[in-house]
Structure 1
Amino acid sequence: MRVLALLAALALAPCTGAAAYPERPITMLVAYSPGGGTDLVARAIAPYLEKYLGGGAKIVVVNRAGAGGEVGFAALANSPADGYTIGFVNTPPLLTIPIERQAQFHWQRYDYIGNIIDDPCNFSVHAETPIRNLAELAAYAKAQPGEVTVGTTGIGSDDHIAMLKFERAAGVKLRHIPFKGSADVRAAIAGRQIMVAAINIGEALQYQKGGTPLRNLVQMSPARTNLAPELPTAREQGYDIEMSSLRGMAAPKGLPADIRERLVAAVERAAADPDFQAQAVKFFAPLRYLTPAQYEAIVRDADVMYRAMWRDMPWADK
């Protein structure tokens, strides 16, 4: 009887947990529109996740854009915690949206799998605009109060908060125009529907390479990045502003431990794959891998910081 019981247990073992995972396609949610920075890195890394998950894994990228990322973040948080829905989450909107308003997600409702990107904020203008730096932008805005339109990826986004920080530092008033994603901001600045595109430096460089006539004014990083060594930081231009966006992978809270381990290992190996890294360089993706523990710790600390900022400088559009 003991032998029969053991054989039965062994027969059942492959049918449980990660041994059978994945048995069907995995959905990877992106909370922004196609063609933006998050969408590009999601589609670039998906084949490498398939490779390192093994077992014939298939990943399908699905864009769920809207409300500055809220639609996609909520869809991810409220999906079954079975490993078949994963996605990208972006700071700060992952944190700022629930601070600003009631939302169907919260940063504590995810299992963090690993961060991939850390992209500094930037202001771009159309290449035919005479403005060449932050001082000239500030001077123009002071001469035309409330008339300088700034496109961002949504209320409470890193782009929006960068705009608010610049308003305060420069003593100017700008007009906020939120979009569903950076690709929409790019289209608006290319068509001269807005005066300033608040988009991350990696995205701006990629759009320039694609032919969009942009002039980048700043990178809001502690020091000049390797992506744009010739572009001055905000501090170099006299404005004490730092702002960037983490773009990492997460799943609904409560993944089975074995499946979570499989996903974490696959993301780490995919992020370190030389072919993926070479591909990321081609579209100017500033890679910064963080382990789940490192990633969650940064998110936790940032939540405290943004709650304090909300009390001092609320970012909701009036």
Structure 2
Amino acid sequence: MKRLFAIASAFGLTIAGAAAAEYPERPIEMIVAYSAGGGTDTAARTLAPFIEKYLGEGATITVVNRPGAGGEVGFTELSRARPDGYTIGFINTPNILSIPIARQTRYSMDSIQAVSNVVDDAGAFNVLPNSPFTTLDELVAYAKENPGSVTYGTSGVGGDDHLAVLQFERLTGISMTHVPFSGAADVRAAVMGGHIAMAGLNISEAASLVNEGELIALGQMGEKRWTGAPDVPTFQEQGYDLVMGSSRGIGAPAGIPKEALNALQEAIAKTVEDPEFLAAAEKQDLPLDFQNAADFQAKLDELDSNLQTLWKEDPWVK
């Protein structure tokens, strides 16, 4: 009897282990906190089929748009979902961090678990070739001699481009004048038309104009140079300790089961090495930067600390 019990117990453990390894057993919902057709939505819909592929046969992911309040609506829904692995979402920096700093929100980062980062679109300062400054050092010197005279455009107050300039001003002791626009396209048009002196854009948003010689990128704010702009030095290479951009990755409600977290990480890691996905990402100018849950969470924590400090010293919402 003992032998039969031992065999039955071992068999039971095997069945239990197999059941746990069957994730996902039903469709997964991926929340996108921005409108359909935007950059985040396009990236999410490009990514989803590959995650399905590497999660295994029968896996399905439905992308659901929950736009509003700069991302707060979608982030709140993600944070309040059941932490069972069947609700995940695209999370964007700095918005997911800066919104709770600037105002009362219905979510906090304690309720969201980082899963994997996918995209890291570094910030960049861009000027016309005939600008009086074409390097960061020249920008600093010019701005010190002409306080407030350098106008710069971004796609909105509190966005990554605006926060990047605020941090740069704090690092260098200069003062420039912010001109907010409704989106990157408007910022590009303004700098190309000479209506502003400098454009704060993500490196991918200006890469084609820089490569064609229509704009000069003073630097990119990644920890390393993006392969799509290999000739543009980083800020750190030029002596300015500034890393800022828009990271886009996958998050889940805090408390997601370990087996689901591991399965998602593995599927995303395989996705960013898939030649078909890499071709699609290149076509969309997506600067890929895979990070596992631990590394992505550490990056979010560091950025949150930096933004908290920046808010205390120079709030971006007055």
Shorter chain as denominator, the TM-score bin is: 0.7 to 0.9
Distance change in 2, residues 1:41/1:130 (3 Å): farther
* Mapped partners of 2:220, 2:293: distance in 1: 27
* Mapped partners of 2:199, 2:44: distance in 1: 22
Letter paired with 1:119? D
Of stretches 198-207 and 50-59 in structure 1, the one that deviates more from structure 2 is 198-207
Does 1:175 pair with 2:178?
Answer: yes
Deviation at residue 46 of structure 1 after TM alignment: 1.2
* Mapped partners of 2:135, 2:67: distance in 1: 31
Deviation at residue 187 of structure 1 after TM alignment: 4.1
Does 1:97 pair with 2:120?
Answer: no
Does 1:71 pair with 2:73?
Answer: yes
**In the TM superposition, what are the counterparts of 1:265-304 in structure 2 within 5 Å?**
265-304=266-305
* Mapped partners of 2:165, 2:273: distance in 1: 33
Q: Is the 8 A contact 2:143 2:174 kept in 1?
A: no
Distance change in 2, residues 1:227/1:54 (3 Å): same
Q: Which secondary structure state, in structure 2, belongs to the residue aligned with residue 104 of structure 1?
A: coil
* Mapped partners of 1:286, 1:242: distance in 2: 15
Q: Which secondary structure state, in structure 1, belongs to the residue aligned with residue 252 of structure 2?
A: strand
Distance change in 2, residues 1:37/1:140 (3 Å): farther
Deviations 1:261-317 (A, max 9, x none): 332222222123232223323333222211112222222233333323332x33332
* Mapped partners of 1:217, 1:28: distance in 2: 36
Q: Is the 8 A contact 1:162 1:243 kept in 2?
A: yes
* Mapped partners of 1:134, 1:59: distance in 2: 44
Does 1:314 pair with 2:317?
Answer: no
Aligned-residue RMSD, C-alpha? 3.9
Letter paired with 1:283? Q
Q: Is the 8 A contact 1:142 1:172 kept in 2?
A: no
* Mapped partners of 1:290, 1:111: distance in 2: 13
Deviations 1:143-193 (A, max 9, x none): 6947825223551x32121121233436223224264xxxx3224533779
Q: Is the 8 A contact 1:141 1:147 kept in 2?
A: no
1:150 aligns with 153
1:305 aligns with 306
**In the TM superposition, what are the counterparts of 1:47-86 in structure 2 within 5 Å?**
47-86=49-88
* Mapped partners of 1:33, 1:258: distance in 2: 31
| Aligned-residue identity in percent | 38
Structure 1: give runs of 5+ residues left out of the alignment.
Answer: none
Letter paired with 1:314? D
Q: Which secondary structure state, in structure 2, belongs to the residue aligned with residue 199 of structure 1?
A: strand
Of stretches 113-122 and 221-230 in structure 1, the one that deviates more from structure 2 is 221-230
Distance change in 2, residues 1:17/1:236 (3 Å): closer
* Mapped partners of 1:124, 1:35: distance in 2: 26
* Mapped partners of 2:239, 2:37: distance in 1: 33
2:184 aligns with 185
**In the TM superposition, what are the counterparts of 1:1-318 in structure 2 within 5 Å?**
19=22, 21-24=24-27, 26-34=28-36, 36-124=38-126, 132-134=134-136, 139=142, 145=148, 148-152=151-155, 154-155=157-158, 157-168=159-170, 169=172, 171-177=174-180, 179=182, 184-190=183-189, 195=196, 196-205=198-207, 216-234=217-235, 239-311=240-312, 313-318=313-318
Q: Is the 8 A contact 2:153 2:187 kept in 1?
A: no
Structure 2: give runs of 5+ residues left out of the alignment.
Answer: none
Q: Is the 8 A contact 2:152 2:177 kept in 1?
A: yes
Q: Compute the TM-score of the two structures, normalised by the length of structure 1.
A: 0.76
Distance change in 2, residues 1:166/1:20 (3 Å): closer
Deviation at residue 115 of structure 1 after TM alignment: 1.3
Distance change in 2, residues 1:238/1:272 (3 Å): closer
Distance change in 2, residues 1:206/1:86 (3 Å): farther
Distance change in 2, residues 1:68/1:124 (3 Å): farther
